[in-house]
């Protein structure tokens, strides 16, 4: 069933629900097809293919609502009947509802999200093995943690009784290599990976594998840092996690429940002057780009943080109504329900190179890998296992392992200083950043 057929069925479900007594309704189809290959030591260990195709119908009867989900083979009449019966028995929800018609997307922007390239199993296998061979060719690499290559296409179709009908497809290509260096108890591992909506946007697989091998070798013979207070520099590969913690803290659902340490942070300076953090669902070829959100709402970039000041929560329709605000189009769809979420969230770069930033730090810790999820969004307390390198005399020195970096996100955010090496790797991205005054626990 192609996108136009799915859109016709979604629109038909909405009309059938209205005829059956619903005051409003929306229907969504979410499809995903994926193919992946995992290799180790030159042999294929696993090949996976999956297909998911389901419909969800949500109906509103007065202030009550319910949703039902099924695959595309379930008759429309059966879905409508179940949904309305469930809605009539559901509790009142004062904040649920469809997006206001004035907010609905009109002409959908072209974002170049679909790569027509569909790789075969053989092509994915070739990429994975090439990456692994490049990693194993690095001097000092003694084993492989495996390599993989994957492809997927996901689509969303949405029709509402408020007058919206639209669909889009988004592809994704991926490559990963994991290298192991050293022997016995002195072994260390590291990785390199890449994601993109288009295969042409991924780095050469041999270059990716080489980086994984070099990273692993560089971590050999680590020491443990002394416990104390230090400036911590987060490599751009892991710095995005701090932007991710901000996304969780400014999520409208957490704000409405008062389960975020930033509940009173709107329009206040939470970062240093000059810091800008943008959520942009319209970035061409972005991993989380989309022409409309899960409620059909028009999309626009938001400066979540501008000049260090928190300007926006992430809001869908329900959380916006609960907070007495207006949705800013951040509804993520999960079947018949929505919840606010970021799209392409980016901490924008500064004007200093990572090398110059490290020179200015002088003495500190450079973090390249993080372990665990010891972050409390309610209080802002932050504590995560890490590995990386000591910074001595403005240069990277001995590798470090089994350390913990800790602080409170109120303080961490206020001390963020970004470098200029932003790379769009994930849905949440940041350049290398330095944070003064963090606690580093080691020996």
* Per-residue pLDDT tens over the stretch 161-194: 999 999 999 999 999 999 999 998 889 999 999 9
Q: What is the pLDDT of residue 134?
A: 98
pLDDT greater than 90 at residue 55: no
**Percent of the chain residues past pLDDT 70, beyond the cut:** 99
Angle (CA) 414 415 418, round 5°: 115
Cβ density class 276-292: b for 16+ within 10 Å, e for less: bbbbbbebebbbbbbbb
Task: Note whether 349 and 278 are within 8 A (CB).
Answer: no
- Alpha helices by DSSP H, listed for 197-316, are 205-218, 236-249, 252-257
The burial class, CB within 10 Å (0-12 / 13-18 / 19+), for 272 is middle
Q: Kindly report, residue by residue over 389-420, the tens digit of the pLDDT.
A: 999 999 999 999 999 999 999 999 999 999 99
Angle (CA) 385 388 393, round 5°: 130
Q: For tokens 């602080």, what's the residue?
A: 407
> Which residues, including other chains, have CB under 8 Å from residue 204's CB and lie 6 or more apart?
none
Average pLDDT of the chain, as a whole number = 95
> The pTM is what?
0.94
Angle (CA) 342 345 347, round 5°: 145
Strands, E, within 62-116: which ranges?
A: 64-71
For residues 102-125, average pLDDT: 95
Q: Kindly report, residue by residue over 278-325, the tens digit of the pLDDT.
A: 999 999 999 999 999 999 999 999 999 999 999 999 999 999 999 999
For residues 363-374, average pLDDT: 91
C-alpha 411, offset from chain centre: 24
C-alpha 242, offset from chain centre: 12
- Distances 399 to 72, 357, 367, 390 between C-alpha atoms, Å: 54, 19, 10, 6
**DSSP tag of 34:** E
H, E, C per residue of 382-415: EEEEEEEEEEECCEEEEEEEEEEEEEEHHHHHHC
For residues 86-95, average pLDDT: 94
pLDDT greater than 60 at residue 377: yes
**Percent of the chain residues past pLDDT 90, beyond the cut:** 90
Q: Kindly report, residue by residue over 263-281, the tens digit of the pLDDT.
A: 999 999 999 999 999 999 9
For residues 140-165, average pLDDT: 96
Strands, E, within 247-330: which ranges?
A: 277-279, 302-306, 309-310
Q: For tokens 């030591």, what's the residue?
A: 41
- Classified as helix, coil or strand, 381 is strand
SS3 content of the chain, % helix, strand, coil (to 5): 25, 40, 35
The burial class, CB within 10 Å (0-12 / 13-18 / 19+), for 351 is exposed
pLDDT greater than 70 at residue 345: yes
- Distances 236 to 26, 369, 393 between C-alpha atoms, Å: 40, 10, 21
pLDDT greater than 80 at residue 74: no
pLDDT greater than 70 at residue 72: no
pLDDT interval class at 125 (50, 70, 90): very high
Q: What is the pLDDT of residue 75?
A: 73
Q: Kindly report, residue by residue over 30-42, the tens digit of the pLDDT.
A: 999 999 999 999 9
Q: Which residue has the higher pLDDT, 23 or 335?
A: 23
Q: Kindly report, residue by residue over 216-247, the tens digit of the pLDDT.
A: 999 999 998 889 999 999 999 999 999 999 99
Q: What is the pLDDT of residue 233?
A: 98
Distance separating the N- and C-terminal Cα atoms of the chain: 60
pLDDT greater than 60 at residue 10: yes
> Phi and psi at residue 304, in whole multiples of 5°?
-60, -45
- Classified as helix, coil or strand, 16 is helix
Partners of residue 232 on adjacent β-strands:
365, 435
């Amino acid at each position: 069933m192609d996108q136009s057929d799915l859109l016709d069925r979604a629109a038909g479900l909405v009309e059938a629900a209205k005829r059956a007594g619903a005051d409003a309704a929306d229907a969504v189809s979410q499809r995903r097809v994926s193919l992946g290959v995992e290799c180790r030591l030159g042999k294929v260990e696993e090949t996976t293919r999956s297909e998911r195709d389901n419909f969800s119908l949500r109906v509103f009867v007065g202030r009550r609502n319910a949703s039902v989900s099924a695959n595309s083979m379930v008759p429309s009449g059966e879905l409508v009947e179940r949904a309305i019966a469930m809605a009539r028995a559901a509790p009142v929800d004062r904040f649920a509802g469809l997006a206001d018609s004035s907010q609905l997307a009109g002409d959908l922007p072209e974002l170049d999200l679909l790569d027509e390239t569909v790789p075969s199993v053989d092509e994915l296998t070739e990429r994975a093995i090439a990456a692994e061979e490049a990693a194993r060719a690095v001097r000092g690499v003694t084993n492989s943690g495996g390599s993989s290559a994957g492809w997927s296409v996901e689509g969303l179709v949405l029709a509402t009784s408020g007058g919206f009908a639209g669909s889009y497809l988004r592809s994704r290509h991926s490559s990963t290599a994991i290298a192991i260096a050293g022997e016995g108890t002195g072994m260390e591992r590291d990785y390199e990976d890449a994601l993109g909506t288009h295969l042409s946007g991924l780095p050469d697989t041999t270059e990716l594998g080489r980086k994984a091998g070099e990273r692993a070798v560089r971590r050999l013979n680590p020491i443990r840092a002394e416990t104390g207070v230090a400036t911590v520099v987060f490599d751009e590969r892991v710095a995005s996690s701090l932007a991710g913690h901000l996304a969780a803290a400014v999520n409208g659902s957490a704000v409405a429940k008062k389960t975020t340490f930033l509940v009173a942070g709107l329009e206040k300076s939470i970062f240093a002057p000059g810091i800008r953090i943008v959520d942009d669902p319209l970035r061409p070829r972005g991993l989380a780009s989309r022409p409309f959100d899960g409620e059909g709402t028009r999309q626009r970039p938001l400066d979540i943080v501008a000049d260090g000041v928190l300007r926006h929560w992430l809001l869908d329709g329900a959380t916006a109504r609960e907070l007495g605000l207006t949705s800013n189009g951040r509804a993520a769809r999960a079947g018949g329900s929505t919840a606010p979420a970021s799209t392409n969230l980016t901490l924008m770069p500064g004007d200093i190179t990572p090398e110059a930033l490290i020179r200015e730090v002088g003495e500190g810790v450079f973090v390249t890998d993080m372990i665990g999820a010891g972050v409390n969004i309610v209080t802002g307390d932050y504590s995560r296992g890490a590995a990386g390198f000591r910074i001595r005399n403005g240069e990277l020195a001995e590798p470090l392992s089994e350390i913990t970096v800790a602080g409170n996100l109120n303080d961490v955010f206020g001390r963020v200083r970004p470098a200029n090496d932003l790379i769009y790797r994930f849905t949440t991205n940041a350049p290398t950043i330095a944070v003064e005054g963090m606690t580093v626990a080691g020996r």
